[in-house]
DNA sequence: GTCAGTTTCAAACAAATGTTTTAATGGTGA
DNA sequence: TCACCATTAAAACATTTGTTTGAAACTGAC
């Protein structure tokens, strides 16, 4: 082996986590794959949870730093003017796709991350929230400024939907395989496809949300947008 | 307790699975919550895996039967003509949202299902694929007929993205909470919001996918669609 | 060569898991 | 009342889990 034990463990863990999930991956699987002794994980990281946190934080801080840097650059160029929604979407989701495309390890990690957004484990959620706090705040502000006509609640949902689409885009494989054979090998094409979809969804006509108290229970659903369908 | 042991176990399992995940939920947690003996799971279901499968199949077959029935109704009415994309989207994703809205148990299950699409466990994937095979085939055919101008590969990705958005829409909570306080209490509003987004994404301008072999490595990304942004 | 500090190793640890076993319980019809 | 059945109950089962231990091996500085 070329690298040191610590690095080999990190790589093996990342790989096995995405294959089998966090819980189902045992320390014995990791240390075997890393050609290390079982005790090495506890020696180098302290515990399995600490290893998981290290695996995530290592790449996630880098990812979100990239996002913030991209936003900084856009806002510097705009000199106070609102950004175009497309620019913001591209910088937020583009960074993720590019990480997935950059290296086998990056792709593995993005698949892992996509799966872990919905991870119920408490300690994972807590450091995930911590890692995302700043970047979410920055992008929310940028979007609100760029889309002053879109109600904030509506936008938050759309952002949420977009994150779901991204998650499936990078982690997809399994669910996608249900649909039939598709080509997942070209990240540039995936990027282009996802952007089209996201922008289309983000800029879709605003639905008329009736207040829950007023609406009649079994009323036929109104379809106010895009009458041409 | 009102109901019999088997039903109490099913309800408790569904509830705990969505809270803690499949692996992290132990039989002891389930049987305690269900006020049953530990051995009851193996007596009534045979194994933990069989219990999981029962929990999913019970609601999933119903869900997909509803989808197929909805499609049957639409196609009967259309008398051979292609359906409108919006109709198909509404029948597929609307059924899911409606199940989530119909009862606390339905909502719990949809959250569980959203989380489990990305479940790496082999046996879960296998029976999920089995449950989805027919409904996916039917809807693929309907979509291809409704959108003859959209390349099939492009559509499959968009369908995949839509499933990601749905997954986050129903299972979301945690990831959504990162974004800030939103109202998740009104399923009708969620339905309307999601539909707008999905239709917007589905009908977005087609991206120009350059063949991977031809494209230059670091070429600036072309943004052929929606020049107005 | 020696020695302190770091890393690796094999072995064992307690705790928790799904499952099985064996007996007890409760109801139903003969 | 008895025998039969399905269900429940308590206890023990073998495995597997993450973690700890204590000694061996290695490393670099003096």
Say if A167 is an interface residue toward chain B (CB within 8 Å): yes
Query: Is residue B195 predicted with pLDDT exceeding 90?
Result: yes
pLDDT digits (tens, 9 = 90+) for A98-116: 888 888 888 888 888 887 7
Smallest CA–C1' separation from A36, nucleotide: C8
- The answer, as to whether pTM is greater than 0.95, is no
Contact A182 B156 (CB under 8 A): yes
Spatial neighbors of A228 by CB under 8 A, at least 6 apart, are none
Contact B183 A153 (CB under 8 A): yes
B18 touches strand D (CB under 7 A): no
CA atom of B112 to C1′ atom of D18, Å: 28
Nearest to A70 by CA among A131, A13, A139, A166: A139
Q: How many other C-beta atoms are found inside a 10 Å radius of the C-beta of residue A126?
A: 11
Print burial letters for B33-53: b (CB count within 10 Å at least 16), e (below 16): bbebeeebbeebbeebeebbb
Ranking A126-135, B24-33, B39-48, B215-224 by mean pLDDT, the lowest is: B215-224
A213 pLDDT band, cuts 50/70/90, is very low
Tokens of B74: 């639409």
If you write DSSP's letter for every residue of chain B in order, what string do you get? --S-HHHHHHHHHHHHHHHH-TTT--HHHHHHHTT--TTHHHHHTSSHHHHHHHHHHHHHHHHHHHHHHHHHHHHHHHTTSPPPHHHHHHHHHHHHHHHHHH-HHHHHHHHHHHHHTT---HHHHHHHHHHHHHHHHHHHHHHHHH-TTS-HHHHHHHHHHHHHHHHHHHHTTHHHHHH-----S-HHHHHHHHHHHHHHHHTSPPP-PPPTTTS-TTPPPP--S-TT-
Spatial neighbors of A35 by CB under 8 A, at least 6 apart, are A1, A8
- The pLDDT of B134-147, averaged and rounded, is 95
Q: How much is the pLDDT for B43? A: 96
Name the residue facing A174 among B118, B136, B183 (closest C-beta): B118
Q: By percentage, how much of chain B surpasses pLDDT 70?
A: 86
B66 pLDDT band, cuts 50/70/90, is very high
Query: Is residue A167 predicted with pLDDT exceeding 60?
Result: yes
- The pLDDT of A84-89, averaged and rounded, is 94
Q: DSSP assignment, residue A213?
A: T
- The pLDDT of B27-54, averaged and rounded, is 96
Phi, psi dihedral angles at B129 (to 5 degrees): -60, -40
Give residues 33-62 of chain A lying near strand D (Cβ < 7 A).
38-39, 41-42, 47-49
A227 pLDDT band, cuts 50/70/90, is very low
Q: How much is the pLDDT for A117? A: 74
């Amino acid at each position: 082996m070329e690298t040191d034990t610590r690095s080999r463990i990190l790589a093996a863990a990342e790989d096995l986590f995405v294959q089998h999930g966090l819980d189902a991956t045992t320390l014995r699987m990791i240390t075997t794959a890393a050609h290390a002794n079982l005790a090495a994980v506890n020696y180098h990281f302290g515990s399995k949870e600490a290893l998981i946190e290290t695996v995530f934080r290592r790449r996630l801080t880098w990812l979100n730093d990239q996002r913030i840097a991209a936003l900084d650059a856009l806002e510097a160029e705009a000199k106070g003017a609102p950004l175009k929604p497309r620019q913001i979407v591209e910088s937020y989701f583009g960074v993720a796709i590019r990480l997935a495309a950059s290296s086998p390890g990056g792709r593995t990690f993005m698949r892992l991350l996509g799966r872990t957004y919905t991870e119920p484990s408490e300690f994972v959620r807590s450091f995930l929230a911590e890692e995302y706090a700043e970047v979410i705040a920055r992008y929310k502000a940028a979007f609100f400024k760029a889309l002053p006509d879109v109600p904030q609640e509506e936008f938050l949902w759309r952002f949420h939907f977009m994150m779901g689409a991204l998650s499936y885009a990078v982690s997809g494989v399994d669910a996608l395989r249900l649909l039939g054979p598709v080509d997942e090998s070209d990240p540039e094409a995936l990027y282009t496809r996802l952007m089209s979809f996201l922008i289309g969804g983000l800029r879709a006509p605003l639905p008329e949300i009736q207040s829950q108290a007023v609406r009649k229970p079994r009323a036929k659903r109104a379809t106010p947008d895009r009458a041409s369908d």
